[in-house]
Structure 1
Amino acid sequence: MPPLSLQEALETTKIHSVAGKLKRGSMLMTQRPFRSPHHTISPVALVGGGANPMPGEISLAHNGVLFLDEFPEFSRQVLEVMRQPLEDRHISISRAKYQVDYPAGFMLVASMNPCPCGYYNHPTKVCVCPPGAVQKYLNRISGPLLDRIDIQVEIMPVPFKEMSSDTAGESSASIRARVVKARQIQQLRFKDCKGVHCNAQMNSRLLKTYAALTDECLEILRQSMERFDMSARAYDRILKVARTIADLDSSPSILPSHIREAVGYRSLDRSSWGVTSPLP
């Protein structure tokens, strides 16, 4: 992720100071927060509140990353309370004695097994889950919450030959340089839009202005949405991801390849999840 701006650093420092999480001797946070709560966390600990209201994990992850490992193992109530802050980037808590509003502009990163046994769609091992268990496991995450996750990627096991290979991949430093460059493009794009500094914050009006599609791209997206029966929210998410892919590619406009790649990142939207299907 790009470095914290001064405004982001001040916001993050205030939240951690209020929560008593600021490191002793630290005056200003200079690194983006990374929060990784256990799956037994309570709704109050996640969103904040309590007898003496305090920010929760989603606010402590403001301007940073909230990582949820074993995503379906979190209680349904905990997962569902994230729907509003994921959309609005803040959380409002109303109780009999108080009403507070905490910022919650975090990046949600979640991981999960494909099924209870962990071998659904494995290239060499057979899934031993009973009929219906895979869908039941996935149903622990509601459709509306899944819809709010921009990128859904199925990761296949890496063969030993590739793990033991001496071939060097792209370094984190070079990837970060591309991310920083793309974020600079977005900041310049939204310099006149108050409260917007990245593609994820675009509303429908901004999408029409900055994520306009050619007829070819529009046709690819139409076929994909009809084929996979995607929602209206998925449409907006695909446009935002495609616009970001174009920025990483230093492309002033969204190309067909960018749309195809963005659609490919919505694997859990499909009824045939786990089965590879060519894009139109």
Structure 2
Amino acid sequence: MTTATAQLMDGTALARRISEQTAALAAKITERTGAAPCLATVLVGEDPASVTYVRMKQNRCAKAGITSRHVELPASTTTEELVAALTELSEDPEISGILLQHPVPHHIDERAAFEAIAPGKDVDGVTMHSFAAMGFGLPGFVSCTPGGIMRLLEAYDVDLTGKHAVVVGRSAILGKPAGMLLLERNATVTYCHSRTVDLPSIVRQADVLVAAVGKAEFIRGEDIKPGAVVLDAGYNEGNVGDVHFESAAARASLITPVPGGVGPMTIAVLLEQTVQAAAAQAGLDLAEL
């Protein structure tokens, strides 16, 4: 077995620190307003993985002093019914942020559902408004997994200026926004996807690699540039990411483990943005809390 030489980017420890800061702010908001920040989670159907994810997010909310309201809808729910439920939550003054657990059943227009979330409550960063804000470098809520990736890069002092960042994956809530956030930090960004010709040759050029393709151990160590920073945003059956960890760790300088890397950061950013939303809705300046 190849011996790992890369330094691990510990998402669990960083997420814990962010969550502690978030809990302190939530407590101050609760004291000032008389109401705790509240995250509404919406789940359509009973997909076991989604049920687990939602329960995990609710537990993390409780630890951070954030209340949660869970809305369960049957798998037969129509797009119109889901849009109505999300619109109602958007208009509810007791709700700070809204999370629609995705993916939703295939018959639902997911984009229409996302767009029913008010921009000020889009703490998962999934609406076109949030996407545009990320693209223009304006204030707003970032997609949580890309936001978590950027916080890891900051925590480990990775200077992105002039670096070649390669993003493997182009989903609207992971690959695309990750590339935009990297570009905003002065990286030169290449997007790769299922139709990219000779993908390994492009991956080998990456100073910073973001793997978000959704295929277990798809990227191998021999295609990692020596000294590269590797962020594995995949989570597949068998608790493995999109990168073959052992072989990649032998060549990278920094690498995220799976689990314990990007995953915990996603939830930490979600909770942080929920508290930010609550402060904004209450007219509070976080810097003064």
Higher relative contact order (Cα pairs below 8 Å, separated by 6+ residues): 2
Between structures 1 and 2, the one with greater strand share: 2
| Fold match by TM threshold 0.5 | no
TM-score (norm. length: structure 2): 0.30
TM-score (norm. length: structure 1): 0.30
